[in-house]
């Protein structure tokens, strides 16, 4: 049970992942969350990744492939995993296949969160996250019970530095140029499910469940 989730920034990957994770007891690996943690902790990895992230560009393939290779060794990832925001380039997809081959497993499903760019600015600029868990809220579409506070822990929420209209533009350029070809890579393997990610969250969840059942 190895799933990958693709889709542009703001398409709802992070919102749906915990639901899939809980339902199927998979381990959830989100490269964006792991990179943000490394940046906050000022680790060597974080220091190398920060500039690209701030500018809405992709971090180098070697860095993110290294993170995933490490993370897949965790005991909790041995029964299956969901990759959120990885692979984002064809090179990453090829390296992932190599890593999985060594472990005797393969990607069995890819969920493509299809959505028009026009919808994403409002989603991105209204996003609030709980950094340590990766939980996301939206000021209009999914407000926390108390503004600026995580429902579960009571800790403060933050807005991501790259969640501005200007940086979103670069992120979408990177998405169309470097990440969309990844969908073609998996289409040839006949494992891509296209979701209508522009619907309300519950309806997207229902589509996810249908695809995985």
Among 39, 130, 137, 157, binds ligand ADP (CB under 6 A): 137
DSSP secondary structure code for residue 178 in this structure: I
- List 94, 125, 164, 194, residue binding ligand ADP (CB under 6 A): 194
Query: Binding ligand ADP by CB under 6 A: which of 142, 149, 211, 212?
Result: 142
Task: Find the catalytic residue in 48, 109, 160, 199.
Answer: 160
Q: Looking at the DSSP assignment, which residues form a beta bridge with residue 6?
A: 112
Span from 39-47, 96-104, 112-120, 148-156 in contact with ligand ADP (CB under 6 A)? 112-120
Residue 91's contacts (CB-CB under 8 Å, 6 or more residues apart) are 61
Torsion of CA 199, 200, 201, 202, to 10 degrees: -110
For residue 76, give the 3-state DSSP assignment.
Answer: helix
| Residue 157 DSSP label | P
Q: Hey, what are 63's tokens?
A: 């860095």
Stretch that binds ligand ADP, among 40-48, 72-80, 103-111, 120-128 (CB under 6 A): 120-128
Nearer to ligand ADP, 17 or 75 (CB): 17
Find the shortest distance in angstroms from Cβ 164 to ligand ADP. 12
Is residue 138 within the footprint of ligand ADP (CB under 6 A)?
yes
Distance CA 43, CA 175 (A): 26
Among 81, 82, 85, 150, binds ligand ADP (CB under 6 A): 85
Between 80 and 144, whose beta carbon lies closer to ligand ADP?
144
User: Cα–Cα distance between 87 and 67 in angstroms, integer?
Assistant: 12
Residue 205 binds ligand ADP (CB under 6 A): no
Q: How many CB atoms lie within 10 A of CB 210?
A: 10
Catalytic residue, chosen from 3, 21, 36, 88, is: 88
Give yes or no for residue 81 binding ligand ADP (CB under 6 A).
no
105 three-class SS: coil
Examine the residue annotation and report whether 36 is marked as an active-site residue of this protein: no
Active site residues per annotation: 13, 88, 127, 160, 171
């Amino acid at each position: 049970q190895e799933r990958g989730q693709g889709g542009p920034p703001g398409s709802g990957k992070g919102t749906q992942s915990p639901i899939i994770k809980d339902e199927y007891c998979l381990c959830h690996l989100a490269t964006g969350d792991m990179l943000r943690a490394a940046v906050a902790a000022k680790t060597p990895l974080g220091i190398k990744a920060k500039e690209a992230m701030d500018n809405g560009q992709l971090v180098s393939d070697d860095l993110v492939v290294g993170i995933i290779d490490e993370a897949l060794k965790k005991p909790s990832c041995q029964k299956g995993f969901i990759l959120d925001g990885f692979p984002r380039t064809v090179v990453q997809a090829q390296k992932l296949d190599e890593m999985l081959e060594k472990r005797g497993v393969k990607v069995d499903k890819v969920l493509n969160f299809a959505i028009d760019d026009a919808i994403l600015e409002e989603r991105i600029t209204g996003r609030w996250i709980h950094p340590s868990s990766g939980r996301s809220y939206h000021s209009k579409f999914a407000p926390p019970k108390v503004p600026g506070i995580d429902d579960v822990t009571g800790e403060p929420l933050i807005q991501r530095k790259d969640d501005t209209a200007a940086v979103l533009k670069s992120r979408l350029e990177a998405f169309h140029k470097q990440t969309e070809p990844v969908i073609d890579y998996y289409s040839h393997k006949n494992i891509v499910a296209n979701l209508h990610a522009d619907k309300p969250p519950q309806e997207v969840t229902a589509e996810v469940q249908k695809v995985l059942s």
